[in-house]
Structure 1
């Protein structure tokens, strides 16, 4: 499964302005709900926040990847945001987060969930890619950048 298969323009925002981590996660869940894949949004919310309580998904370099697993979704679902104003996310490097990629997987598709988390992390770890995302002016441009970068990743 590719990032470009689960991320669409309507699941990307360059205009979110959360004040804190919890608000950011809630806004990302609401954005992901545009997919039409959620059967029970409160179960999605519970799974993501439950995972976040274990250890922060602020993985460093201004990036967070909140995620959860539940069978209360029809299919693997994602949303992505570039924040104008970075926020504290309890990141491992203590730096504020500018990029948030929410991933909600099905309990029954654990392998796909883990592979997607790995792919997203690897792509987002590239300084040059994050710089391009910072300069993207539309959700369409963000999606194009992910599609191109993922192709580079697959060519490795």
Structure 2
């Protein structure tokens, strides 16, 4: 599995409606409502915010990876969003974020969840990749950017 395989044009936002951390996380979670692999959207919301309370998932360099593990999904799912307006996120480097990748893992798929988190982090640490995402103007172009960037990567 590759990161781009978790995404579709239906779970990518090109500009958040809000500029507040909790609200943008909720916008991404709401995108998952139409996914047939979701059995309890509110449980997903709960696990993501419980994880966020432990430590901010704003990892620095303008991106965040909110995530959680729950049995309220039948497989690993994801959503991605970006914002032209900086979002105050309590990031580790103190800087606002523009790019947010939400990852929800099934509790029984812990190893794959951790590998995907690592891959997302590795991708997002690439400054050129982040710039391409920020400049993208459609879900289709964002999906293509993820796809193209992962061509040299093996499956996780």
* TM-score normalised per structure 1: 0.95
- 3-state DSSP of counterpart to 1:105: strand
Contact 1:29/1:79, CA 8 A, preserved across alignment: yes
Q: Hey, what's the Cα distance between the residues in 2 that align with 1:17 and 1:98?
A: 13
Question: Are the counterparts in 1 of residues 32 and 41 from structure 2 also a CA contact under 8 Å?
Answer: no
**TM-aligned CA deviation for residue 17 of structure 1:** 2.4
Gaps of at least 5 residues in structure 2 are none
Gaps of 5+ in 1: none
Structure 2 residue 41 is matched with structure 1 residue 41: yes
TM-score by length of 2: 0.95
1:92-131 → structure 2 map (5 Å cutoff): 92-131=92-131
- Counterpart Cα distance in 2 of 1:65 and 1:73: 18
Deviation at 1:154, TM superposition (A): 3.5
Q: Secondary structure at the match of 1:16?
A: coil
Name the SS for the 1:19 alignment partner.
Answer: coil
Residue 33 of structure 1: how far off its partner (Å): 2.4
Q: How does 1:1-156 map to 2 (within 5 A)?
A: 1-154=1-154
Aligned length: 155
The C-alpha deviation readout for 1:78-134, integer Å capped at 9, x for no partner, is 000111211100000111010000000000000010000000000000000011111
The answer as to whether partners of 1:11 and 1:34 remain within 8 angstroms in 2 is: no
CA contact (8 A) 2:19 2:86 kept: no
Kindly report structure 1 stretches of 4+ aligned residues shifted beyond 3 Å: none
8 Å CA contact 2:66–2:102 kept in 1: the answer is: yes
Query: What is the CA-CA distance between 1:15 and the residue it aligns to?
Result: 2.3
